[in-house]
Structure 1
Amino acid sequence: MDRLATLDLFVRIVDRGSFTAAAASCGVSRPVATATIKALESRLGVRLLQRSTRHVRPTVEGAAYYRRCIAILADLEDADRSVAGGVSGVLRVDVVGYLARTILLPALPDFLARHPALTVHLGEGERFVDLVREGVDCVVRAGMLTDSDMVARPLGVMEEATVASPEYLAQHGIPSTPEDLEGHQMIGFVSSRTGHPLPLEFTHGDKVIEVALPARLLVSGADTSVTAARMGFGLIQAPRYRFADDLREGTLIEVLADFPPTPTPFSVLYPSNKQLSPRVRIFIDWLVEIIKL
């Protein structure tokens, strides 16, 4: 391997915590990766990586070398872009599925036309993603963010609504206030962080009211919760844009509109310990441009 390829391999090993995963991403075998790093450590005269049976971590010297390497590789990518006139390579993004289908995909042809040498790998999910370990450049997520290892760029807030099917409301009644919810059921949306269903949330002036209703059905996917609401399993709360067609067609009905849930923040996240690459930078700028929530 030449020196730049060796730096790239070293960065990927630190990012993924694995010789095997890094070697595969570079298109080389595990023995080649091991020999390359041994040669690098021998040339530098220091140990860069602490190896164990389960994980690979940088030493103090390795961590310092890693920071310099990612800066060098980012500068090289910037240099290539300035000469080639645009970004290239693969941009790996993970987005909540409904956002991907309703907001990103319709606008994506224009983004790709602007950057013809760029390929977008669009993953769909709502689970926590280890960006560095899984090789994902950034994620687009809704909700409160607590992960200090990530940089979050706010994109806006989404208005939420409480809805249920006409059949459900015909059976259980239409509540006028949160106090009228006795005897109602919710579809329990299980938090990926806590493993427990989230309570319904209502605002009244400056006051926030949480109501945990009985739930015969627990789900962990937003699309499943909407489908279940259409089928009459109970009340749900989610960003209003998810229900636009249902509310217009009458397959779902909004209730307690005078007591709306608090708006949900919407952000793009990327690792704080890595220099922002040109690919991620132009993607974030594009998101800010197209998202009008």
Structure 2
Amino acid sequence: MDKLSAYEAFTQSAETGSFVVAGRNLGISASAVGKAVARLEQRLDVRLFHRNTRNMTLTEEGRRFLERCRRIFEEVEAAEAELAQLSRTPKGRLRVSMPLVGMLLTPVMAEFMRAWPEVQLELDFNDRLVDIIEEGFDAVIRTGTPSDSRLMARNLGRFRMHIVAAPDYLAQHGTPQRPEDLEVHHCLHQRSPNTGKIRSWPLAPTDGARKLVLPERMSASAVDPLIELAVRGFGIACLPPFAIRRELAEGLLVPILTPWIEGMDQFHVLWPASRKVTPKLRAFIDFMAEHLRPGDVAAQQTD
């Protein structure tokens, strides 16, 4: 048990790059983590980290040992999963990565927590391309089409983007009737947090297929400020329907150019194909497939 504790202290330190964060994750002090790692290095007679006053990085020996430790904990997790299968009761910590826009789906997460109170959800919200296997996530929820052959996927539902504006804005500036009309309007854009590039609006080409150049009134990497500014009448935005359900229902925003919007986006839940599906993960996958309705089109559930 002492060895496993030391391995866990080392693994957490290596993955977080900090004794302080590792200690916080393990519920012990940073000093205790540092001492555990030092004792481990002494026992192994090898240096696992390059340390200075600013940061610490793994040595070559440390990188190799980290791979071994991850395999050990995967085996421990697999053993626990087999025991959990016997009870068939979903329980324990479930680490899930979601896109930033997934914050708007927290009501569904609340319903899941109510349905399975013994499952401890640990949600990580970001738009970067996480490595679910290397970073130890049980599952990730992402938009788009899955492309990683190491992962299993289940479709959680499809949605079509909405182009919306406040009634006051349209009363003052007029309502665009065709996509090219947007070129004289104030457009509120979303930028990719990864690339910094503005995300294009899914508009069908008009006659002549001239490339549209939409003005940039403002841009943001999250949808919340776009919603707020659109409601306040500062411009037109392109947003997912689940982000603006209340605003549409209350008439704070109205959809425009609907016939010109093309294509569908979709949510998927992904999990490692190499791991057994634990009861807690199966409960999460099934619950999301049943309850998540990201758009106006009913979710198409497929394994």
TM-score range, shorter chain: 0.7 to 0.9
Counterpart CA distance in 2 for 1:212 and 1:75 is: 54
Compared with structure 1, are the counterparts of its residues 9 and 35 closer, same or farther at alpha carbon in structure 2 (3 Å cutoff)? Answer: same
Q: CA deviation at 1:37?
A: 1.8
Compared with structure 1, are the counterparts of its residues 14 and 178 closer, same or farther at alpha carbon in structure 2 (3 Å cutoff)? Answer: same
Counterpart CA distance in 1 for 2:195 and 2:158 is: 23
Greater strand fraction, Structure 1 or Structure 2: 1
Contact residue 16 and residue 134 of structure 1 kept, 8 A: no
Matching residue of 1:183: 184
Matching residue of 1:104: 109
Q: Percent identity over the alignment?
A: 30
Q: CA deviation at 1:160?
A: 0.9
Matching residue of 2:237: 236
- Greater displacement, 134-143 / 58-67: 134-143
Contact residue 159 and residue 264 of structure 2 kept, 8 A: yes
Contact residue 127 and residue 193 of structure 2 kept, 8 A: yes
Counterpart CA distance in 1 for 2:171 and 2:142 is: 34
Unaligned ranges ≥5, structure 2: 294-298
Matching residue of 1:165: 166
AA in 2 matched with 1:13:
S
RMSD: 3.9
Cα shift readout 1:20-52 (whole Å, capped 9, x = no counterpart)? 221232233333322322222232233333334
Contact residue 161 and residue 261 of structure 1 kept, 8 A: no
Counterpart CA distance in 2 for 1:202 and 1:285 is: 33
- SS of 2:203's equivalent in the other structure is strand
Match status 1:69 vs 2:69: yes
Q: CA deviation at 1:98?
A: 1.0
Counterpart CA distance in 1 for 2:71 and 2:210 is: 47
Compared with structure 1, are the counterparts of its residues 73 and 35 closer, same or farther at alpha carbon in structure 2 (3 Å cutoff)? Answer: same
Compared with structure 1, are the counterparts of its residues 276 and 166 closer, same or farther at alpha carbon in structure 2 (3 Å cutoff)? Answer: farther
Unaligned ranges ≥5, structure 1: none
TM-score by length of 2: 0.73
Q: CA deviation at 1:172?
A: 2.0
Counterpart CA distance in 1 for 2:110 and 2:69 is: 34
Counterpart CA distance in 2 for 1:30 and 1:126 is: 26
Counterpart CA distance in 1 for 2:120 and 2:3 is: 26
